[in-house]
């Protein structure tokens, strides 16, 4: 019996138009009404993911930063789990990005910093309603780095090249494409699998009692943590190859169909 649904946000429950389909909202309500824990597992920062949770009336702790943080919701919410980048590695990545003219989002203590108020950051934050601060990274004390995100909205192959280069240069870190345009860099224990496993143990669940659902390569780790791993129909080929089951696309309520199949509930029309 499924007791926890661990789900990605973007491309899984939240559409590309950044709107929740009504069936998804009803599905999540049905899950919570049945006492099944719904946990958001995302690359987003905690403060941004918490807004999503509030819209869906989800009250469980949120897994953010690819698994780098688990934090309870609300003012003064307790951090249950946190893995950050070392200051030296973070500085090295920042300098590499500057030298290669790469737009970089720097997340420290759940605050987003950028050096340039450009189209890339406006597009990224505008779609997600995230506040950010513009400053010279050289003026910051680099510590408690939750994540570094390198972005190129125009050249997905360039992003692939960054991932390959950084993985070879810094094999001790977790480096992954979370969309075709995002290269995410975190601590090696800042993985969705590590964070879900932490909650599994905290709540005394069995792995087979967890349903994990996602759509991108950064969700490969998420699917590993579930007793049942589901890839969205709009998911990447790499994710689908790791999945126990491939559901429908987000446009066709794939999340809802997977929940109905494995949680044995029926979402009201």
**pLDDT band at residue 18 under the 50/70/90 scheme:** confident
Name the strands in the sheet holding 62-64, side by side, starting at the edge strand that comes first in the sequence: 62-64, 69-71, 79-82
Distance of alpha carbon 214 from alpha carbon 30, whole angstroms: 20
Helices (H), 78-178: 87-99, 119-128, 156-169
**pLDDT band at residue 267 under the 50/70/90 scheme:** confident
pLDDT of residue 60: 98
Mean pLDDT on 171-179: 95
Supply 183's token pair: 């290269």
Distance of alpha carbon 143 from alpha carbon 159, whole angstroms: 25
The yes-or-no verdict on residue 54 having pLDDT over 90 is yes
Mean pLDDT on 22-50: 96
Mean pLDDT on 180-200: 97
Residue of 92, 96, 99 lying closest to 145 (CA atoms) = 92
Classify residue 47 as exposed, middle or buried by CB count within 10 Å of its CB (0-12, 13-18, 19+).
middle
pLDDT of residue 127: 67
Distance of alpha carbon 248 from alpha carbon 223, whole angstroms: 16
Per-residue pLDDT of 128-139, as tens digits, reads 668 899 999 999
Name the strands in the sheet holding 111-114, side by side, starting at the edge strand that comes first in the sequence: 133-134, 111-114, 103-108, 145-151, 182-187, 173-179
Query: In this structure, are residues 165 and 175 in contact, taking their beta carbons and an 8 Å threshold?
Result: no
pLDDT of residue 129: 67
Query: In this structure, are residues 72 and 78 in contact, taking their beta carbons and an 8 Å threshold?
Result: yes
Question: Strand pairing partners for 108?
Answer: 111, 145
The yes-or-no verdict on residue 157 having pLDDT over 70 is yes
pLDDT of residue 55: 93
């Amino acid at each position: 019996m499924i007791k926890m649904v661990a789900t990605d946000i973007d491309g899984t429950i939240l559409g590309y138009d950044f709107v929740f389909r009504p069936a998804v909202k009803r599905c999540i309500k049905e899950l919570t009404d049945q006492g099944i824990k719904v946990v958001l597992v995302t690359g987003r920062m905690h403060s941004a993911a918490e807004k999503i949770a509030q819209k869906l009336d989800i009250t469980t702790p949120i897994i953010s930063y690819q698994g780098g943080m688990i934090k309870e919701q609300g003012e003064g919410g307790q951090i249950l789990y946190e893995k950050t980048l070392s200051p030296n590695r973070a500085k090295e990545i920042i300098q590499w990005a500057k030298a290669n003219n790469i737009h970089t989002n720097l997340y420290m203590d759940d605050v987003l910093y950028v050096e340039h108020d450009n189209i890339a950051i406006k597009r990224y934050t505008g779609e997600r309603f995230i506040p950010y601060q513009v400053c010279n990274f050289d003026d910051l004390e680099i510590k408690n780095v939750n994540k570094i995100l390198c972005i190129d909205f125009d050249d997905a192959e360039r992003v692939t090249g960054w991932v390959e280069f950084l993985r070879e240069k810094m094999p001790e870190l977790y480096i992954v494409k979370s969309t075709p345009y995002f290269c995410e860099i975190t601590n090696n224990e800042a993985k969705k699998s590590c964070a879900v496993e932490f909650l599994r143990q905290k709540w005394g669940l069995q792995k087979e009692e967890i349903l994990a659902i996602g759509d991108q390569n950064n969700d490969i780790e998420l699917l590993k943590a579930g007793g049942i791993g589901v890839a969205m129909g709009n998911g990447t080929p790499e994710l689908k190859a790791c999945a126990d089951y491939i559901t429908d696309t987000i446009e066709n309520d794939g999340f809802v169909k997977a929940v109905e199949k494995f949680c044995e509930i029926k979402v009201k029309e």
